[in-house]
């Protein structure tokens, strides 16, 4: 059984804070149990749950009769380089706990977002397919690659319905991003709307794939509801909407704010961005479960500005 009781881990984060209302609208709010190590106190449904505590995960799944999990709890790329041990603990041990408890409780579906972080400097740069060289140089990427592989393992060994997609940088306005390398895109739009200049931590020509949050939510739901017999892949679908450089975003923002200016002062995140692809091939997601992004750079920027204003 699936979607009768849905546990969302890491629900207070950038994606979770939007996925919870999205799933609540789609399936009914009483079916969604948001959880986080730092719970959102404004939502009475929220439970406190540290995914690195296997006993606590077990208890929550049993108590709320969970049949579906959207596992979002993670440490992202930049924060992961600041604290690799924590990234390993949350991203690997936390995921292992989720998979183990999911198998023993016959959970119907575990959704585990992955990331372009699985790629590395040896990966081709443009139109990167799913199957390619994946040799990441960040702890985040290493943990995400292991998470994808564990998903395949739990599926083949225990029949666990683990599914996931490799998100590019996600742009959104409701909650701040969680310490990643693509965060510059959100920060730049926010500063432009506030009428301030922006100091970008990436070079102006660092091209990376991106996606607007409504497309990310839609893609999570499409993959979650996809007919299993159509899936040839499981936890590593590439998805992307558009690819941009910081300079292209700056120029797009100048259409709205002609005096907006950005200075470029790359820091340690530049090396992470340099190791990631500029564009992805998402044909498997399109063919196997109907991935269909609607926002490009122009419509994303326009919608972000309209909401931030």
Rule CB under 6 A: say whether 77 interacts with ligand AKB. Answer: yes
Closest CA to 210 of 142, 282, 261: 282
Handedness of CA 19, 84, 90, 238 (dihedral sign): positive
The answer to the question of residue 70 lying near ligand NAD (CB under 6 A) is no
The Cα-based distances of 226 to 21, 220, 288 in angstroms read: 21, 10, 8
The answer to whether the CB of 148 falls within 8 A of the CB of 114 is yes
In the list ligand NAD, ligand AKB, none, the entry touching 301 (Cβ below 5 to 8 angstroms by class) is none
Q: For the segment 136-175, give every residue that binds ligand AKB (CB under 6 A).
A: 140, 168-169
34, 113, 141, 151: which one contacts ligand NAD (CB under 6 A)?
Answer: 113
Which of ligand NAD, ligand AKB, none has residue 73 at its interface (CB below 5 to 8 Å by kind)?
A: ligand NAD
Is 140 considered catalytic here?
yes
DSSP, residue by residue, 178-226:
-S-STTHHHHHHHHHHTT--EEESS-TT--EEEEEHHHHHHHHHHHHHS
249: left (phi over 0), alpha (psi -120 to 50) or beta: alpha
Residue 23 or 72 with smaller CB distance to ligand AKB = 72
| Interface pattern 169-208 for ligand AKB (x via CB under 6 A) | x----------xxx--------------------------
Site for ligand AKB in 103-132 (CB under 6 A): 115-117
Percent of the chain as helix, strand, coil, to the nearest 5: 45, 15, 40
Please enumerate in sequence order all residues whose Cβ is within 8 A of that of 201, keeping only pairs 6 or more positions apart, or say none.
Answer: 184, 265, 266, 267, 269, 270
The binding track of 4-23 with respect to ligand NAD, each residue x by CB under 6 A or -, is -----xx-xxxxx-------
**Which of the residues 96, 140, 198, 295 is marked catalytic?**
140
Least distance between ligand NAD and beta carbon 261 (Å): 25
Indicate the Cα dihedral angle 204, 206, 209, 212, nearest 10°.
Answer: -30
Report if residue 243 touches ligand NAD, rule: CB under 6 A: no
Q: Rounded to the nearest whole angstrom, what is the least distance from the CB of residue 238 to ligand NAD in the complex?
A: 11
Interacting residues of 271 by C-beta distance below 8 A, sequence separation 6+? 137
Nearer to ligand AKB, 117 or 120 (CB): 117
CA distance 231 to 285: 9
Query: Which residue number places its CB atom closest to ligand AKB?
Result: 180
The residues of the shown chain that bind ligand NAD, judged by CB under 6 A, are: 9-10, 12-16, 36-38, 49-52, 72-74, 76, 90, 94, 113, 115, 167, 169-170, 177-178, 180, 182
The residues of the shown chain that bind ligand AKB, judged by CB under 6 A, are: 76-77, 115-117, 140, 168-169, 180-182
């Amino acid at each position: 059984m699936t979607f009768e009781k849905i546990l969302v881990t890491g629900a207070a984060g950038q994606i979770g804070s939007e996925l919870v209302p999205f799933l609540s609208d789609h399936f009914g709010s009483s079916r969604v149990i948001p959880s986080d190590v730092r719970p959102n106190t404004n939502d009475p449904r929220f439970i406190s749950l540290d995914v690195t505590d296997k006993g606590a995960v077990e208890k929550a799944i049993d108590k709320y009769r969970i049949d579906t999990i959207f596992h979002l709890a993670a440490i992202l790329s930049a924060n992961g380089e600041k604290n690799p041990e924590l990234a390993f603990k949350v991203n690997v041990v936390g995921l292992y706990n989720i998979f183990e408890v999911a198998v023993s409780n016959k959970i119907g579906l575990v959704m585990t977002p992955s990331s372009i972080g699985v790629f590395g400097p040896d990966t081709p740069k443009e139109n990167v397919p799913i199957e390619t060289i994946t040799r990441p140089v960040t702890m985040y990427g290493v943990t995400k690659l292991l998470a994808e592989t564990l998903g395949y393992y739990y599926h083949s060994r225990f029949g666990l319905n683990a599914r996931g997609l490799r998100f590019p940088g996600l742009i959104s306005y409701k909650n701040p991003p969680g310490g990643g390398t693509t965060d510059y895109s959100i920060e730049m739009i926010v500063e432009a709307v506030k009428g301030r200049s922006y100091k970008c931590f990436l070079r102006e020509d660092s091209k990376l794939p991106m996606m607007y949050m409504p497309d990310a939510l839609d893609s999570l739901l499409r993959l979650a509801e996809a007919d299993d017999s159509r899936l040839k892949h499981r936890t590593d679908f590439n998805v992307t909407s558009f690819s941009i450089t910081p300079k292209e975003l700056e120029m797009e923002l100048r259409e709205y704010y002609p005096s907006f200016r950005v200075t470029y002062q790359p820091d340690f995140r530049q090396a992470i961005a340099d190791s990631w692809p500029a564009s992805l091939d998402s044909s498997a997601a399109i063919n196997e479960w109907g991935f269909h992004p609607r926002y490009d750079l122009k419509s994303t920027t326009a919608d972000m500005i309209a909401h931030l204003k």
